[in-house]
Amino acid sequence: MEHYKGLKPSRRNFLTGAAAVGGALAGSRLSAQTADPLIVNPQPWRQDLGAGVDAAPYGVPSKFEADVIRRDVPWLTADAVSSVNFTPLHALDGIITPNGLCFERHHGGVAVIEPSEHRLMINGLVDKELVFTMEDLMRFPRENHVYFLECAANSGMEWAGAQLNGCQFTHGMIHNVQYTGVPLRLLLEEAGVKTEGKWIMVEGADAAGMNRSIPMEKALDDCLVAFKMNGEALRPEQGYPLRLVVPGWEGNMWVKWIRRIEVGDQPWHAREETSKYTDLLANGVARRFTWEMDAKSVITSPSPQAPITHGKGPLVITGVAWSGRGTIPQVDVTTDGGMNWHKARMSGPSFDKSMHRFYYEMDWDGAPLLLQSRAHDSTGYVQPTKDALRKIRGENSIYHNNGIQTWAIDADGKAENVEIS
Amino acid sequence: MEHYKGLKPSRRNFLTGAAAVGGALAGSRLSAQTADPLIVNPQPWRQDLGAGVDAAPYGVPSKFEADVIRRDVPWLTADAVSSVNFTPLHALDGIITPNGLCFERHHGGVAVIEPSEHRLMINGLVDKELVFTMEDLMRFPRENHVYFLECAANSGMEWAGAQLNGCQFTHGMIHNVQYTGVPLRLLLEEAGVKTEGKWIMVEGADAAGMNRSIPMEKALDDCLVAFKMNGEALRPEQGYPLRLVVPGWEGNMWVKWIRRIEVGDQPWHAREETSKYTDLLANGVARRFTWEMDAKSVITSPSPQAPITHGKGPLVITGVAWSGRGTIPQVDVTTDGGMNWHKARMSGPSFDKSMHRFYYEMDWDGAPLLLQSRAHDSTGYVQPTKDALRKIRGENSIYHNNGIQTWAIDADGKAENVEIS
């Protein structure tokens, strides 16, 4: 049983919100069956037979959840085939992202691959070059791990100040699922990496042929060649039938529709690790090979897309935190823009390089709030302010912005993306 | 990094399966770019731009996965509105069931509920009868837990011997997701349970008005009033917008579309706990209140719907195990009908009252196999044979059959549901 560190609703507090049955029925205290206001006015769903078990072989969400979708920002890119959409973090809870809502980032649109025709090739500095079918890969030992996948450009627009009004857009280039796959190490061992093989180049089977270099140490550590997410086959937009999983590292390296792994003695300096995915500093020098995603967090509710609608009294503040370097043992929440910090309650499993869920329960007096969250990871690193990051990195980059996010809540419960210093 | 206790594919073994590049190209050893057989014959997905990020606001599986669906058995029940369909366990991996594939069991079809009109009432032996809106419930502290939900009738047809040819049908009345919800304890504390309140009756808002009795001790222990599964809102067929979660206990008690909780001093003896969900023994006496789901396991691949198609050599055997009384520290696998048992490799997280994933990797010589798995739970309980269960319980019941399942694999790799004694 979890211990609620935040203020939990007391009976007195809560009753200002929920209706006592007596109140709902004009003060009369009645026995259960006759008092039930739902029997007096039965809703249609209590009178009508619904759909049977043959109606939806693959289920879909309720029609009342039609707004909980991935959203793109058409002005952001020249074409939707090389663009991004965003996970609706404000509407989710727990730590698992359902497959239908995992954000997408493509460079040449979604490849539609017939799995029986898909091949994975290992070539270069190996004893024996190999081509695997999907069936071949299913004969290797598999592992199951929950990992977050975050685009390096997540929160990128925020380098220049508060830009996007909603955590779906400021922080929604992330998802968190359980992957099933074969350790890349086993496939490289099968091919036999030569002594001089220090890097791999991974390449997708999509029209963009997206490729990235990865150091051999990481390749042999925890990378997976994955074929399932949250139990079922990868979704097409997530690399069906095969993608690379590079735990804790920037999403661009998690090559989708992976078709080739070349072993070499140095990095390839591909387009996506030179002109893109390098971090231009104020002095014109670019940081490169900034692979790890630093500890980060965001309050998902209340937030601009999830305002407070219930007035004052008990309020649940919740959000997510993650680190590419380990777990998140602690998240702090402030409601006054950083003057006072409170330890949030962590809820749900804590996995290495996975999203974590936190809550902070409070009694809201109806006054404006400045909400922030601050993640601590298992290495001792503490999430910095955006200003602290800007002092060192300038504002040229669009990548690796893990600064603290601020939401201003007004007396009506509306939330806005703001910067405070 | 996991240690593979089973036989892992050795390079020599494996190469009988995968094609070495040299072999695929008639023995010529070529450099990577020119050797690549995929460049010689590029597939269409490498030439065509695919769909953009605006194409699928809520994603769906690949068209090549069209067979991975819930399936019902029309002859099983008189009408699909009071029937069941089954999770395709044979096609899944890891421990999370994606929401679209969670089996369904309805008594009056799927209620389609407008969440703003939904109410949860607590009445009976309480200090203050209460009616909660969904918004009220969102103001209480929430928890996140991964639990299995298994129908008490899962494997029920197997009491009379091997009946259904596929683990989707023999064991598919189970799913395993992460729930987000409010501890029921907090709501009961809000209402104030009177000293004589020892039971609750929980009732659904569907046309069937499904109801069950639950002892107060369980209600105050780990039950959740849940509104999310795997991060998003409950699916309509899983109780949207609100269901009860009764960890480890039979699925029928997890009332969907929950609208009322009555506190009483004794059980209600509702239809679903008298004429149904009691276990008729051979002597005519029925076991009642058999709530906990005992430890159980099944091999999901190979299995009748997932035969071996790759011939002899490295073979991955995998399955799932669970217990309503705790975790699963160990699963044993036999390939010879129980003469020799081998410890399987557990992979992925081990949660209380959750599904666990196991693997056993072997080198298959092509001879017929008799595959079984046997779960051990954290209380020390070991999954029994079906015959051992029948000796005590007879064959009248359709509930709580957690006996060991056998698949016979023939030399062609086909699998069949069999009984051995």
Contacts with A1 from chain B: Cβ below 8 Å: 183, 221-222
Q: What is the DSSP string of A254-305?
A: S-BSEEEEEEESS----GGGTTSS-EE-TTS-EE----BPPPEEEEEESBTT
Could you tell me the CATH number of the domain that includes residue A372?
2.60.40.650
Contact B139 A36 (CB under 8 A): no
Q: List pLDDT tens digits, range B298-352.
A: 999 999 999 999 999 999 999 999 999 999 999 999 999 999 999 999 999 999 9
Residues A177-191 as b or e (16 or more Cβ within 10 Å = b): bbbbbbbbbbbbebb
Could you tell me the CATH number of the domain that includes residue B177?
3.90.420.10
Contact B47 A207 (CB under 8 A): yes
What is the DSSP pairing of strand B258-264 with strand B119-124? parallel
Residues B169 and B279 in one domain: yes
* B137 contact partners, CB below 8 Å, separation of at least 6: B120, B182, B187, B225, B227, B242
Contact A313 B71 (CB under 8 A): no
Contact A62 B241 (CB under 8 A): yes
Q: How many CB atoms lie within 10 A of CB B402?
A: 22
Residues B226 and B91 in one domain: yes
Residues A143 and A226 in one domain: yes
Pick the residue of B7, B45, B345 with the most A CBs within 10 A to test the interface with A by mutation. B45
Instruction: Compute the distance between CA of residue B399 and CA of residue B286 in angstroms, rounded to an integer.
Output: 11
Pair B230, A230: CB distance under 8 Å: yes
Contact A15 B309 (CB under 8 A): no
Is A111 within the bounds of a domain? Answer: yes
Average pLDDT, chain B: 91
Residues forming a β-bridge with A292: A249
Distances B103 to A45, A385, B63, B77 between C-alpha atoms, Å = 21, 46, 21, 16
Contacts with A19 from chain B: Cβ below 8 Å: 130-131, 133
Q: How many CB pairs under 8 A join A and B?
A: 470
Is B375 within the bounds of a domain? Answer: yes
Is A407 within the bounds of a domain? Answer: yes
Residues A332 and A271 in one domain: no
Is A60 within the bounds of a domain? Answer: no
Of the listed ranges A300-304, B24-28, B181-185, B359-363, the least confidently predicted one is: B24-28
User: Distance from CA of residue A229 to its chain's centroid?
Assistant: 14
Q: List pLDDT tens digits, range B227-273.
A: 999 999 999 999 999 999 999 999 999 999 999 999 999 999 999 99
Q: Which of B259, B287, B315 is the last residue of a domain?
A: B287
Of the listed ranges B78-82, B185-189, B209-213, the least confidently predicted one is: B78-82
Contact B45 A113 (CB under 8 A): yes
Instruction: Compute the distance between CA of residue A82 and CA of residue B51 in angstroms, rounded to an integer.
Output: 10
Contact B102 A59 (CB under 8 A): yes
Contact B9 A84 (CB under 8 A): no
Tokens 């791990």, residue?
A145
Nearest to B115 among A64, A104, A141 (CB): A64
Contact B60 A58 (CB under 8 A): yes
Q: Is the pLDDT of residue B375 over 80?
A: yes
Q: Phi/psi at B23 (nearest 5 deg)?
A: -60, -45
Contacts with A145 from chain B: Cβ below 8 Å: 348
At A284, list the tokens: 């014109």
Chain B residue with the nearest C-alpha to that of A235: B61
Contact A209 B46 (CB under 8 A): yes
Residues B281 and B301 in one domain: no
Pair B252, A78: CB distance under 8 Å: no
Q: How many CB atoms lie within 10 A of CB A403?
A: 20
Rg (CA), chain A: 24
Instruction: Compute the distance between CA of residue A86 and CA of residue A97 in angstroms, rounded to an integer.
Output: 12
3-class state of residue B218 by DSSP? helix
Instruction: Compute the distance between CA of residue A320 and CA of residue A359 in angstroms, rounded to an integer.
Output: 9
CA distance B284 to chain A (A): 32
Say what the ipTM of the complex is. 0.93
Is A190 within the bounds of a domain? Answer: yes
Contacts with B300 from chain A: Cβ below 8 Å: none
The pLDDT score that the predictor gives to residue A418 is: 97
Residues B44-69 as b or e (16 or more Cβ within 10 Å = b): ebbeebbbbbebbbbbebbebbeebb
Residues A300 and A205 in one domain: no
Is A16 within the bounds of a domain? Answer: no
Strand blocks (E) in A157-241: 174-183, 199-204, 211-215, 224-229, 232-233
Residues B73-84 as b or e (16 or more Cβ within 10 Å = b): eeeeeeebbbbb
CA distance B150 to chain A (A): 16
pLDDT values of chain A reduced to their tens digit, one per residue, 421 residues: 344 443 344 444 444 445 655 444 333 333 334 445 555 567 888 888 999 999 999 999 999 999 999 999 999 899 999 999 999 999 999 999 999 999 999 999 999 999 999 999 999 999 999 999 999 999 999 999 999 999 999 999 999 888 899 999 999 999 999 999 999 999 999 999 999 999 999 999 999 999 999 999 999 999 999 999 999 999 999 999 999 999 999 999 999 999 999 999 999 999 999 999 999 999 999 999 999 999 999 999 999 999 999 999 999 999 999 999 999 999 999 999 999 999 999 999 999 999 999 999 999 999 999 999 999 999 999 999 999 999 999 999 899 999 999 999 999 999 999 999 7
Chain A residue with the nearest C-alpha to that of B8: A141
Burial class (CB in 10 A: 0-12, 13-18, 19+), B381: middle
Chain A residue with the nearest C-alpha to that of B203: A46
* A23 contact partners, CB below 8 Å, separation of at least 6: none
At A217, list the tokens: 């140490």
Q: Is the pLDDT of residue B11 over 80?
A: no
* Number of domains forming the structure of chain B: 2
Contacts with B239 from chain A: Cβ below 8 Å: none
Distances A394 to A80, A258, A280, A286, B164 between C-alpha atoms, Å = 29, 35, 8, 11, 65
Q: Which of B263, B287, B311 is the last residue of a domain?
A: B287
Residues B229 and B126 in one domain: yes
Contacts with B74 from chain A: Cβ below 8 Å: 54
Nearest to A131 among B18, B43, B177 (CB): B18
Instruction: Compute the distance between CA of residue B415 and CA of residue B41 in angstroms, rounded to an integer.
Output: 36
The pLDDT score that the predictor gives to residue A18 is: 54
Nearest to A59 among B4, B32, B235 (CB): B235
Pick the residue of A89, A93, A122, A265 with the most B CBs within 10 A to test the interface with B by mutation. A93
Contact B64 A115 (CB under 8 A): yes
Is B400 within the bounds of a domain? Answer: yes
Residues A253 and A105 in one domain: yes
B243: containing domain? 82-287
Percent of chain B with pLDDT over 90: 86
Contact B113 A45 (CB under 8 A): yes
CA distance A295 to chain B (A): 21
Is A64 within the bounds of a domain? Answer: no
Chain A residue with the nearest C-alpha to that of B117: A43
Residues B276 and B333 in one domain: no
Pair B187, B163: CB distance under 8 Å: no
Residues A334 and A278 in one domain: no
The pLDDT score that the predictor gives to residue A22 is: 41
Instruction: Compute the distance between CA of residue B129 and CA of residue B391 in angstroms, rounded to an integer.
Output: 48
Residues B272 and B304 in one domain: no
3-class state of residue A41 by DSSP? coil
Pair B143, A2: CB distance under 8 Å: yes
* B151 contact partners, CB below 8 Å, separation of at least 6: B84, B103, B105, B173, B174, B250, B251, B252
Instruction: Compute the distance between CA of residue A324 and CA of residue A409 in angstroms, rounded to an integer.
Output: 30
The pLDDT score that the predictor gives to residue B41 is: 60
Contact B58 A45 (CB under 8 A): no
Contacts with A104 from chain B: Cβ below 8 Å: 53, 59
The pLDDT score that the predictor gives to residue B42 is: 75
Q: Give, as one character, the DSSP assignment of residue B81.
A: G
Instruction: Compute the distance between CA of residue B62 and CA of residue B40 in angstroms, rounded to an integer.
Output: 26
The pLDDT score that the predictor gives to residue B21 is: 52
Contact A52 B111 (CB under 8 A): no
Q: Give, as one character, the DSSP assignment of residue A144.
A: E
Measuring CA to CA, which residue among A85, A118, A6 is closest to residue B43? A118
Residues B152 and B211 in one domain: yes
Q: What is the DSSP string of B227-253?
A: EEETTEEPPGGGTTT-EEE-TTB-GGG
CA distance B133 to chain A (A): 7
Helices (H), B96-228: 134-137, 167-171, 184-191, 216-221
The pLDDT score that the predictor gives to residue A39 is: 53
Q: Which of B267, B287, B307 is the last residue of a domain?
A: B287
